[in-house]
Amino acid sequence: MTPTITAFARSPDRGRGLARDMRVRWALEEVGRPYDVRLLSFSEMKEPAHRRLHPFGQIPTYEAGDLALFESGAIVFHIAERHAGLLPDDANARARAITWMFAALSTVEPPIVDRSMAMVLERDKAWHAERLPILEDRVRVRLGELSNRLGDAAWLDAAFSAGDLLMVTVLRRLTGSGLLEEYPNLAAYVARGEARPAYQRAFADQWAVFTGQSPTGR
Amino acid sequence: MTPTITAFARSPDRGRGLARDMRVRWALEEVGRPYDVRLLSFSEMKEPAHRRLHPFGQIPTYEAGDLALFESGAIVFHIAERHAGLLPDDANARARAITWMFAALSTVEPPIVDRSMAMVLERDKAWHAERLPILEDRVRVRLGELSNRLGDAAWLDAAFSAGDLLMVTVLRRLTGSGLLEEYPNLAAYVARGEARPAYQRAFADQWAVFTGQSPTGR
């Protein structure tokens, strides 16, 4: 059964692939599953019809038959659990990959989102100039720790996994900040993720939504 | 094999059970598994020996044989996947419970932690008085959405699950803020979680660490 995901009709990232539907698109491409996309305006996201799918009025959602899910992490996990390619077979390696999924979303992403939110929502506040370096230092703490752990490895725990997929998309939210570039091994790690054919197909499809062209035919 | 978890030797929450080891303790109690606890000082958490277990230098960790995990969400999931009591058998209900695990940690917890961090780290800043109501309104947005979804149900998706376990511990981080009390069904939901015998055993054990008494014998 072909699942349907939701995405922004007009992504605020202007097609840079930073919205959270990108994670689900990429996961589906990694495992070679087709999917349909339903685009939503900002007002549609907050209407009762969408709230029934997603209580927090966000994208993405995932519908397949009588199953409806929200939360990009949960959707990526659902895909990874059902199709080969995103989680290792070995039980311990699988548990560690899942740990990196949670680490990406619970430990690394929050300070990155805080910085982004301050750039958008608090830019006109008197405190913004003084507070921004504090936020950036909080991001640097996590990037430094992640950089130390990654070292010169290609991926966080041996083979590419859903943990890397989420971590790369989290780190990509720093695009344009200059912070990622302070950690060359992390910048190379993100580039390694972006170079994967599945990533490129997913990126092209979300870019086609932004530019209003029809998605790449597959 | 009895797993070993790590926890604060001196929790900054003064025994209120708000530290993240509480999630793991509660999960292990729900599934009836014994465990050992290794207590760490703040400086030990940042030393290389602990960083090898937890790259971000935090608690809790989970060690069982040659498996070492970090991230409370991942550890709770690992426990829930291996023992009955925290995830439903039905595949769709299981996927929805996992969705609530991610929702608790990725969508509901971040604004709650932001508020807590501001109370601790930015209390002396000139902007604190003006910024705090903004942070509290961000928390209220999520609480309102969660309250609407929960309605008069006992748990988020039929039976109690690991999703509820994480959500209750996330909401408990608002203790003392007065915010939870604005949503009577959420306050009742948290009280329902706290009333579970497994919660009470876990709470007593972390309280025993804080007071320096020996844990309740079991």
ipTM score assigned to the predicted complex: 0.96
CATH of the domain at B51: 3.40.30.10
Interface of B with A in 13-42 (CB under 8 A): none
| Range of the structural domain that residue A53 is part of | 4-85+198-207
pLDDT tens digit string along A147-200? 999 999 999 999 999 999 999 999 999 999 999 999 999 999 999 999 999 999
Are B105 and B136 part of one and the same domain?
yes
B34 secondary structure, DSSP code: -
Task: Report how far apart, in Å, the C-alpha atoms of B134 and of each of B23, B95, B102 are.
Answer: 28, 34, 24
Contact A55 B99 (CB under 8 A): no
pLDDT for position B131 = 95
Residue A154: helix, strand or coil by DSSP? coil
Give the closest of A78, A95, A142 to B56, CB-based: A142
Q: Is residue A107 part of a domain?
A: yes
CA–CA separation, B30 vs A37, rounded Å? 39
Q: What is the pLDDT of residue A75?
A: 98
pLDDT at B218: 45
**Cβ within 8 Å, pair A67-B103:** no
Question: Residue A1: pLDDT above 90?
Answer: no
**pLDDT at residue number A107:** 97
Q: Based on the domain organization, do A50 and A109 belong to the same domain? A: no
CATH number at residue B173: 1.20.1050.10
Rounded mean pLDDT of A93-98?
98
Pick from A21, A3, A27: nearest CA to A59: A21
| % pLDDT > 90, chain A | 94
Alpha helices, H only, chain B: 21-30, 42-45, 48-53, 72-82, 91-102, 109-121, 128-150, 162-172, 184-194, 197-211
Does any domain span residue B211?
A: no
Same domain, B145 and B173: yes
Q: Do B71 and A95 touch (CB under 8 A)?
A: no
Q: Same domain for A181 and A103?
A: yes
Q: How far is B42 from chain A (nearest CA, A)?
A: 16
Task: Compare CB distances from B67 to A70, A73, A95 and report the shortest one's residue.
Answer: A95
The answer, for A110 touching chain B at a CB cutoff of 8 Å, is: yes
Long-range contacts of A125-129 (CB under 8 A, 24+ apart): A125/B127, A125/B130, A125/B131, A126/B127, A127/B125, A127/B126, A127/B127, A127/B130, A127/B131
pLDDT band at A215 (very low <50, low <70, confident <90, very high): low
Domain annotation covers residue B218: no
Are A192 and A96 in a shared domain?
A: yes
Q: How far apart are CA A188 and CA A203, in angstroms?
A: 18
- What's the pTM? 0.96
The per-residue b/e assignment along A181-211, b for 16 or more CB within 10 angstroms, e otherwise, is ebbeebbebbeebeebebbebbbbbbbebbe
Of residues A201 and B218, the one with the higher pLDDT is A201
Nearest residue in A to B149, CA atom: A55
Domain count, chain B: 2
User: Per the domain annotation, does B109 fall within a domain?
Assistant: yes
Q: How far apart (Å, rounded) are the C-alpha atoms in residues A94 and A108?
A: 20
Whole-number pLDDT of residue A217: 44
Residues A102, A183 within the same domain: yes
Best to test chain A binding among B45, B56, B115 (most A CBs inside 10 Å)? B56
**CB proximity A98 to B under 8 Å:** yes
Contact A51 B146 (CB under 8 A): no
Question: Do B81 and B99 share a domain, yes or no?
Answer: no
**Pair (A56, A130) in one structural domain:** no
What is the pLDDT at residue B103? Answer: 98
A126 CA: distance to closest CA in chain B (Å): 8
> Is A217 among the domain residues?
no
Does the CB of B183 have a partner CB in chain A at under 8 Å?
no
The answer to whether A67 contacts B95, with C-beta atoms less than 8 Å apart, is yes
**What is the reported pLDDT for B34?**
98
Residue A110: is its pLDDT beyond 80? yes
Task: Look at residue B36 and give its three-state secondary structure.
Answer: strand
A212 is a domain residue: no
Q: Indicate if B108 and B161 belong to the same structural domain.
A: yes
Report pLDDT for B217: 44
B121, part of any domain: yes
Q: Do B202 and B155 belong to one domain?
A: no
- Is residue B59 located within the same domain as residue B152? no
Give the per-residue pLDDT at B212. 86
A207-A210-A214-A215 Cα dihedral, nearest 10 degrees? 30
Give me the tens of pLDDT residue by residue for chain B, a chain 218 residues long. Answer: 899 999 999 999 989 999 999 999 999 999 999 999 999 999 999 999 999 999 999 999 999 999 999 999 999 999 999 999 999 999 999 999 999 999 999 999 999 999 999 999 999 999 999 999 999 999 999 999 999 999 999 999 999 999 999 999 999 999 999 999 999 999 999 999 999 999 999 999 999 999 987 655 44
Instruction: Determine how many CB atoms are found less than 10 A away from the CB of residue A113.
Output: 15
In this predicted structure, what is the pLDDT of residue A25? Answer: 98
Q: How many CB pairs under 8 A join A and B?
A: 111
Task: Return the pLDDT at A79.
Answer: 98
Q: Would residue B131 count as lying in a domain?
A: yes
Cα dihedral: A78, A79, A80, A84 (round 10):
140
Identify the three-state secondary structure at position A148: helix
Q: Is A105 on the interface with B (CB under 8 A)?
A: yes
For A16-75, write each residue's pLDDT tens digit.
Answer: 999 999 999 999 999 999 999 999 999 999 999 999 999 999 999 999 999 999 999 999
Give backbone dihedrals phi and psi of B17, rounded to 5 degrees, phi first. 75, 25
Q: What is the pLDDT of residue A183?
A: 98
Residues B34 and B74 in one domain: yes
Q: Dump the DSSP string for A17-55.
A: S-STHHHHHHHHHHTT---EEEEE-HHHHTSHHHHHH-T
B95 min Cα distance to partner chain A (Å): 7
Q: Please list every residue in chain B whose beta carbon sits closer than 8 Å to the beta carbon of residue A67.
A: 92, 95-96
Looking at the complex, does the CB of residue A129 fall below 8 Å from at least one CB of chain B? no
